[in-house]
Amino acid sequence: MDFLEQLNTVQREAVTCTEGASLIVAGAGSGKTRVLTYRIAYLLQQGVPASRIMALTFTNKAAREMKERIQKLVGEDARYLMMGTFHHVCTKLLRPEADKLGYTRDFTIYDTTDSKSVLKAICKERGLDEKIYKPGAVQARISMLKNSGISPSAYGANQQLLREDREVRLYEMATVYEQYQVRLRAANAMDFDDLLINTLVLMRTFPEVRARIQTQFQYVLVDEYQDTNYIQFLLVKTLAEPQNNICVVGDDAQSIYSFRGADIRNILNFRQQYPDAKLFKLERNYRSTQTIVNAANSLIHKNVHQIEKTVYSEKEQGQPLRLQPYMDDRTEALGVATAIQRQKHKGYDSFAVLYRTNAQSRVIENELRKLNIPYRIYGGTSFYQRKEIKDALGYLRLAVNPRDNEALLRIVGFPGRGIGETTMKKVSLNAIEHHKPYLDVMRRPDDTGLDVNAATAKKLQAFAAYMDGLNEQSETMDAYAFTEMVLRTSGVMTALALDRSQEGIDRAQNVQELLNAIREFVEQRVNEGVDYTPITDFLSEVSLQTDQDENLTDTSERVTLMTVHAAKGLEFPVVFIVGLEENLFPSQFAIKPSEVEEERRLLYVAITRAMEQCHLSFARQRFRNGTFNFASPSRFLNDIDRQYFEIQRPRNVETSTPRFTGIPVSREPEKPKTPVSNAQTPIASSWKEGDRVSHRVFGIGTVLRVYRDEVTENDKIEIRFDTQGTKTLLLTHAKLERF
C-alpha cells in the first residue's frame, strides 16, 4: 500500500474509509481524481473483486484515465471495473435486458443531431413554424423535462408547464414531445436521456433485475456529483441500495451546469439523504499560486448556498491578478493577443483565453491571426460529427438496427442509387401511416400501396435487400472486418475516391481514420481477453462520446480558446478571462439569486484554471446584436478582494491624463485595501440633473445624474429618454445637445 504515502492526511482518510456513505468535497486543484482513483485501488487491494465496484463519471476520458492509473497501481484486475459515464454504464446494464422494455439488444442510441432531425421532421409534418419550434430549443426543452423525470403524459397534464409553453407560443410542445417518444420507440432507438430513464424504469419495474444489479455492485462511486440531475440522483440512490456503500466526490463551488439539468441540491443535501455520511474536505490546492487561490476564495465566499470550506495553496505567493479595462472588444482582443505575443517564450500551449459565450471568440481569433499566433477552438466539430463519418456510421447503424429510420434517410442517397427526396418522402409518409419502419415499406412496397413506379420500386427493394444482407453478416463478422466490407460494397469508399479536391481527399482520409479507430478498438478488446467484438459494441462507444472526450489531437503548440463551461477540469499556466461586464458575465439571463450564484461559481471555475497568471479584462463598449453597446464592469469584480488585484493602465483611452497608476497593490493579506467597486462618484459637469438633452440615436431625454465609475474611471451620464428608456452613456462619446 505504498501509494497511500503519496497522499496528505485528509486524502488518506478519504481513501481508506470505504464503508457506508461518504461525501468528499474537493476544492479546485485539490487532487480529486487522485483520491477517487486511490480509493478504488485501495478497495481492490483489500480484496474487493473489481466486478463488484461501479464508478460513474461525466466523461469517457475521465473514466479511461482513472482506469489507466488504477492499472498502474494494482495491475490488470482494474480492467474488470464497471467504470464509465452514466450513459455508458446504463447502456451496459440495459442491452441484456432491453427486451423487457420492448427494445432489441441492438437498439440505436440517438445523439443530439439525430434527435434534432426527428424533431424537425415532426414539426414539419405538423406544419409548425420552425422559427418558433427551433429543433435545438425543442430538443433542449425535452431533455430538461426528461432530466426532471417528467414523461409526455405528465407533461400534458401539468398546467404550469403548458402555460409556460403558451407564453412562448409553443402550443403543441406536449404533442411534439409525445410524438418524439413514439418515433424513438418505433425506430428501436433511445436518446441519451432515455438511457438513464429506462435503466431506472427497468430496476423499478423488475425487482429481480434490480436485486441482481444491487447485489453485483457492492460499492458505488460518483465523480463530479455536483453536476448530477434529478434522474441521476435517483439512479445513484437506487444502485447503492441497500448497502449504501456510496462515495460521491465533487465541489459545490464548481456546479455550473444547471442549464443541462444539474441540481446543486444533490451535493448540498447529501448528508440529509445519508445522515451517517462521513464528510471529507480536500482544501489544499496543488495547482495555483496563493494569490490566485485567495482571490478565488474571496469571490466564492460571497455565495450564500455552499458547503463552507477554505481552499489554500502552499505554492509561491505569485503575481496579483491583472485587471485591464479596454475601450472596446476589438481593443480587448488586440490587448490579449499582444500580451500572449510578449510571453510567447513560454510556449503557446501555456495560454488559454476564456469567455462566457462562443460569439466572443470571433474578434479574438481575428487579432490572433493578425499576429500569426496559432490557436485552437476547444470543443469544435467532433470527428464523429463530420458528415462523411456520420454517413459511414449510418450504414453500420442501419445494418444492426433495420428500424433506424434516421440512419436510413442519411445514407439512402449516398452514394447515389436513383432514390431521391421525393421518393423518400412518399416512403416516410407511407411508413408513418402504416406504423412500419421505412425499410419494411421499401422491402415490400406493394403491401402498403406505396405510390411509386415499377423501376423505383425495384431500386427500393434492391437497397432493402442489400441492407438485409448486411444485417445477417453483422452477427458473424467482427467490427473491423464488417466495417471494411460495408464501406467497400456500399460504394462509399469509391465515391470518396472519385472526388480529388482537397476536401474530397480529406473526407476519404477521415473515413480511413474511422477504420483505424475500429481496428484499434478491436485490438484493445483482444488485449482485454475479448475474443469477438461485434460492431454494436463500437457503435455504442462512439454514440456515448461526450463534448470533452474529443482529444486535442494536434500536438503543435497553440493558444486554446474556449468557453468557461468547456474549461472545467483543465488548467493552464496563463489564463485570460475576457468580457467581465454586466449582462455578459454575469449573463443578462441571470436574474434570480440562484442564477447569479451560478454565474459567480462560473467565474470561480475560470479563475481556478490559472496556475501562474490570471488576467481579467472588460470593455467599455462591445459590439453585440449588430450594434455597439456601452458596458459596465461586472459586479463580480467587486466581490474579489482588492488586495489581490493589479489594475493596469486603460488602453485606447481618449484623455490627456492617465487615470490608472498601474502600481501593484500590496500582496499582504493583513493589509486589506479598498475593494474594486462600481461606485458612482458625482463629478462637476456642464450637464446636471434635470437638463433636457437630445441624442442623435435615442432622441429626447432628461439627465438623471452625471458620475465617474471608479473601476473604469470613466465619466458617465445617465439619461431617461422619452421613448427609449434609461441609458447610461460615456460622457466623452455621448455627443449630446441641449434641447
Per-chain mean pLDDT for the chain: 88
pLDDT in tens, 661-692: 332 333 333 333 334 444 566 777 788 999 99
Band of pLDDT at residue 658, cut at 50, 70 and 90: very low
- How does pLDDT run across 408-459, given as a tens digit for each residue? 999 998 888 889 989 999 999 999 999 999 999 999 999 999 999 999 999 9
Quick one: pLDDT band at residue 647, thresholds 50, 70, 90? confident
How much is the pLDDT for 397? 95
Grade residue 728 by pLDDT with cuts at 50, 70 and 90: confident
- In tens, the pLDDT along 83-135 reads 999 999 999 999 999 999 999 999 999 998 899 999 999 999 999 988 889 89
pLDDT of residue 4: 87
Residue 726: band (very low, low, confident or very high) from pLDDT cuts 50, 70, 90: confident
Average pLDDT over residues 310-316: 94
Please give the share of the chain, as a percent, with pLDDT higher than 90.
Answer: 64
Would you say residue 655 has pLDDT above 60? Answer: no
Q: Which of 178-192, 290-304, 317-331, 356-370 has the lowest mean pLDDT?
A: 356-370
CA angle 354, 360, 364 (to 5 degrees): 75
∠ CA(127), CA(131), CA(136), 5° rounding? 100
Q: What is the pLDDT of residue 196?
A: 96
Question: Comparing C-alpha atoms, which of 22, 531, 108 is closest to residue 13?
Answer: 22
CA distances from 62 to 450, 503, 545, 564 (A): 50, 33, 12, 19
Q: State residue 250 phi and psi, 5-degree precision.
A: 180, -175
Distances (CA, A) of 159 to 153, 156, 166, 282: 12, 8, 10, 44
pLDDT at 676: 46
> How does residue 625 score in pLDDT terms, banded at 50, 70 and 90?
low
pLDDT on residue 553: 45
pLDDT for res 544: 80
Which of 149-158, 285-294, 541-550: highest mean pLDDT? Answer: 285-294
Looking at residue 437, its pLDDT comes to 94
Specify the pLDDT at position 130. 84
Identify which of 25, 58, 22 has the alpha carbon closest to the alpha carbon of residue 250: 25
Cell (9 digits) for 730 = 460615456
Percent residues over pLDDT 70 in the chain:
92
Catalytic residues: 32-33, 223-224, 254, 609
Averaged pLDDT, 222-243: 95
CA distances from 322 to 291, 343, 577, 642, 669 (A): 11, 15, 10, 11, 17
Identify the pLDDT of residue 56: 96
| 621 has a pLDDT exceeding 70 | yes
Model confidence over 467-477: pLDDT tens digits?
999 999 998 99
Q: Reply yes or no on whether the pLDDT at 570 is more than 90.
A: yes
Phi, psi of 283 (to 5 degrees): -110, -10
Q: Which residues pair with 43 in a beta bridge?
A: none
CA distance 467 to 400: 9
Q: Quote the CA–CA distance of 514 and 682 in Å, as a whole number.
A: 65
Cis status, amide bond into 402, omega within 30 of 0? no
79 phi and psi angles, rounded to 5 deg: -70, -15
Q: How confident is the model at residue 481 (pLDDT cuts 50, 70, 90)?
A: very high
Encode burial over 420-459: b for 16+ CB neighbours within 10 A, e otherwise.
eeebbebbbebbbeeebbbbbbbbebeeeebebeeebbeb
Distance CA 494, CA 392 (A): 13
Distance CA 625, CA 451 (A): 48
pLDDT of residue 659: 32
The pLDDT value recorded for residue 662 is 33
The residues near 603 (Cβ < 8 Å, ≥ 6 apart) are 299, 564, 577, 580, 585, 634, 636
Q: How far apart are CA 659 and CA 653, in angstroms?
A: 9
Q: Which residues contact 410 (CB under 8 A, 6 or more apart)?
A: 390, 391, 394
Query: Residue 604 pLDDT more than 50?
Result: yes
Lowest mean pLDDT among 302-311, 362-371, 617-626: 617-626
Give the alpha-carbon dihedral of 392, 397, 399, 404, to 10 degrees: -130
Per-range mean pLDDT, top range of 58-72, 271-285, 534-548, 670-684: 271-285
Average pLDDT in the 231-239 region?
96
The more confidently predicted of residues 10 and 696 is 10
The more confident residue out of 75 and 193 is 193
